[in-house]
Amino acid sequence: MGKVTRYQSVLSYAKRCISEQQHRNRREFTYRILFRQLPAPTSSLPSGKWANDLVTELLHKSTLSALLPSV
């Protein structure tokens, strides 16, 4: 019984680590997409809803990453 419990603990820990890694990869991938959409430094900054949405998304992501403990 002890071996089964230990195996289940290791398995659940591994699944959690994989899940956290996938979540981290998705977040990094989202950052890459957002930064690709940023205008070139020489161009004028966009205005309107697109810019507001981008700023809101970046603030949300940075707030989440500050609140989540880094592993």
User: Could you give the CA distance from residue 58 to residue 20 in angstroms, rounded to a whole number?
Assistant: 21
pTM surpassing 0.95?
Answer: no
Widest CA span in the chain: 66
pLDDT digits (tens, 9 = 90+) for 6-63: 656 766 777 777 777 766 666 666 666 555 655 555 555 556 676 777 778 888 877 7
What's the confidence (pLDDT) of residue 27?
66
User: Could you give the CA distance from residue 4 to residue 52 in angstroms, rounded to a whole number?
Assistant: 53
